């Protein structure tokens, strides 16, 4: 009788151990801010003459899993140049100095806040193409609003959250806070340096999970 009880106890311990080993340990969602990502460009409209020259210059690439700018040709998720934002997925629009897309990144703009956007809408994800970027360019079209003369300010449009699929199939969301260096509360286009992105982001590091 004692042997039977011992065998049953031992079997229970083994099954319990196996069950614990089989449990998937999820990684914590990363919630961070990034300040002053510099996204310079050459060309565009000369504010003095009104003359346009083709836009060029390297994009500044960012990787959500490392939380850092990267120079990698493959391991990047999103990239910035001036007010343009591209993803590592799809096809080039054909502008000068665009990086090659080698991943499967995609993006869409959700309406809400970082707190309210809790699930990725897979059907809304879009990639860059030869006809346009997935995040539309131009004031009032994508992530920002442009207030013309005499102030000439570029402001992130409230309630616009960028939701990404990363180059390797995970998910992230971003709220752009400022386009000016050190994120002044009331930027002055004539004294504050532009093309410096400050943003909040959350990164879901667990494969196949689409919520935050």
Q: Reduce the DSSP state of residue 195 to 3 states and report it.
A: strand
DSSP H or E segment with residue 63: strand 60-63
pLDDT digits (tens, 9 = 90+) for 126-171: 999 999 999 999 999 999 999 999 999 999 999 999 999 999 999 9
Domain extent listing, the chain: 26-204
d(CA 81, CA 137): 11
pLDDT digits (tens, 9 = 90+) for 2-26: 444 444 444 454 445 444 555 789 9
Terminal-residue alpha carbon distance, the chain: 53
Per-residue pLDDT at 24: 80
Name the one residue in this structure whose structure tokens are 């959350």.
Answer: 202
Q: Reduce the DSSP state of residue 17 to 3 states and report it.
A: helix
């Amino acid at each position: 009788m004692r042997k039977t009880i011992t065998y049953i106890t031992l079997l229970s311990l083994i099954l319990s151990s196996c069950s614990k080993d089989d449990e998937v340990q999820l990684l914590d969602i990363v919630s961070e801010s990034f300040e002053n990502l510099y996204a310079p460009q050459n060309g565009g409209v000369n504010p003095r003459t009104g003359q346009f020259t083709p836009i060029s210059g390297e994009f500044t690439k960012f990787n959500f899993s490392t939380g850092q700018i990267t120079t990698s040709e493959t391991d990047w998720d999103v990239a910035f140049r001036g007010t343009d934002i591209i993803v590592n997925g799809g096809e080039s629009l054909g502008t000068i100095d665009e990086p090659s897309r080698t991943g499967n990144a995609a993006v869409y703009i959700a309406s809400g806040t970082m707190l309210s956007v809790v699930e990725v809408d897979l059907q809304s994800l879009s990639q860059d193409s030869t006809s346009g970027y997935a995040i539309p360019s131009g004031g009032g079209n994508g992530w920002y609003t442009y207030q013309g003369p005499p102030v000439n300010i570029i402001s992130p449009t409230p309630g616009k959250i960028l939701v990404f699929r990363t180059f390797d199939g995970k998910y992230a969301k971003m709220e752009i806070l400022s386009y000016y260096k050190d994120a002044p509360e009331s930027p002055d286009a004539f004294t504050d340096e532009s093309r410096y992105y400050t943003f909040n982001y959350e990164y879901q590091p667990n494969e196949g999970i689409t919520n935050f």
